[in-house]
Amino acid sequence: KEIVVSGIRSTGFLHLGNYFGAIRNYIRMQEDYNCYFFVADWHSLTTHPDPKDLRGNVFRLLAENIASGLDPEKVALYAQSDVPEIAELYLLLNMLAYKGELEKVPTFKDKVRLQPQNVNAGLLTYPVLMSADILVHRAIKVPVGKDQEQHLEMARNFAQRFNTRYGEELFPEPIAFNFGDNLVRIPSLDGTGKMSKSENEMATLYLNDTDELIRKKVMKAKTDSGPAEPGAPMPETISNLFLLMQSVSAPDAVDNFRLAYENQSIRYGDMKKQLAEDMVAFIAPIREKAQALQQDVPYLRRILKDGAEKARASAAQTLQAARALIGINYYQ
């Protein structure tokens, strides 16, 4: 079976972008691949260092993953911090990563803009830790959203550099993966960026939102004032609505609104009402299941423990091989 790795930062509530960019692929892959999925708690410390939030975020994320359909019996589901081999590989890869290339990464530049008072080295080396997360299991496919594409390219570079420097093909070169042709990017409802856990809350649909809040957010989504001139390109706010509708609504409903758009008879209010109801029907069962699961902390702890065991067994083998290649095997 091919090896698959992916993680989500424990920085807040999961949203539709996380679901359609990442989790939907996890669920589809869990049968046929050897899957390692983790809560990226170390990664969250670069931007969310408050100890009072961490634990709740980690347990909720686990519950939301399982409520979405992930089966902990079929995959290794673990916390990044339970696998110290990741930190060791991160250290080794740091010797192959250059300050200049890390400073050029767009997500680093975004973070510098967002938190100029805390430009920590963890932010700069984020792509190195992410590479360690992936390479520690020698994974080939990484189900992620479009925003992670460039980080994957860096992971391939680090893998290649390691292999070249130490003269053996220890690491395969991993690719960003999505069922379907393109990587997914779910836009925010106000059209200003992507949905995100910790920014722009009213323009992001969370898997924990109440029915009422979902309706309110969708009805406030930006649309233009009316149908565009015939033949004019579809405005981004409208194509965003169609993209969301395609994700959760019946194909017939989407087709009807598309036809109405083309005839210039579309009423955006009606479209948003339909979208809101379909969104409620999609999110409510996940929300309710996740809330129930969160009550059962002993169960979630057991999952973390089992997941960590599976992940460490795989990671330990990789590190043993990496150490030997570097020459760190003084007692053998």
Catalytic residues: 111, 194, 197
The answer to whether 186 contacts ligand AQP (rule: CB under 6 A) is: yes
> 185 vs 323, which CB is nearer to ligand AQP?
185
The answer to whether 147 contacts ligand AQP (rule: CB under 6 A) is: yes
> 89 vs 176, which CB is nearer to ligand AQP?
176
Question: What DSSP assignment string belongs to 273-330?
Answer: HHHHHHHHHHHHHHHHHHHHHHH-HHHHHHHHHHHHHHHHHHHHHHHHHHHHHHT--T
The site map against ligand AQP for 1-20 (x = CB under 6 A) is -------xx-xx----xx-x
Tell the smallest beta-carbon distance from residue 178 to ligand AQP (Å): 9
H or E element that contains 143: strand 141-143
> 9 vs 322, which CB is nearer to ligand AQP?
9
Q: Binding segment for ligand AQP among 115-123, 144-152, 207-215, 316-324 (CB under 6 A)?
A: 144-152
Q: Binding segment for ligand AQP among 69-77, 141-149, 234-242, 323-331 (CB under 6 A)?
A: 141-149
The answer to whether 174 contacts ligand AQP (rule: CB under 6 A) is: no
Question: What DSSP assignment string belongs to 64-99?
Answer: HHHHTT--TTTSEEEEGGG-HHHHHHHHHHHTT--H
H or E element that contains 156: helix 149-166
The answer to whether 25 contacts ligand AQP (rule: CB under 6 A) is: no
Tell the smallest beta-carbon distance from residue 276 to ligand AQP (Å): 19
Position 122: which residue type?
G
Inter-helix orientation angle 268-295/297-326, to 10°: 90
The answer to whether 197 contacts ligand AQP (rule: CB under 6 A) is: yes
Binds ligand AQP by CB under 6 A, chosen from 75, 144, 159, 275:
144
**Assigned token pair, 172:** 């395969």
The answer to whether 185 contacts ligand AQP (rule: CB under 6 A) is: yes
DSSP symbol at 192: S
**What's the rounded Cα separation, in Å, for the pair 291 and 284?**
11
Binding to ligand AQP in span 263-322, by CB under 6 A: none
How buried is residue 243: exposed, middle or buried, by Cβ count under 10 Å (0-12/13-18/19+)? middle
Contact 239, 186 (CB under 8 A): no
Q: Would you list which residues are annotated within the binding site for ATP? A: 9-11, 17-18, 145-147, 186, 194-198
Residues that constitute the known binding site: 9-11, 17-18, 133, 145-147, 186, 194-198
Binding residues for L-tryptophan, by number, are 133
Residues that bind ligand AQP (CB under 6 A): 8-9, 11-12, 17-18, 20-22, 144-145, 147-148, 184-186, 194-199
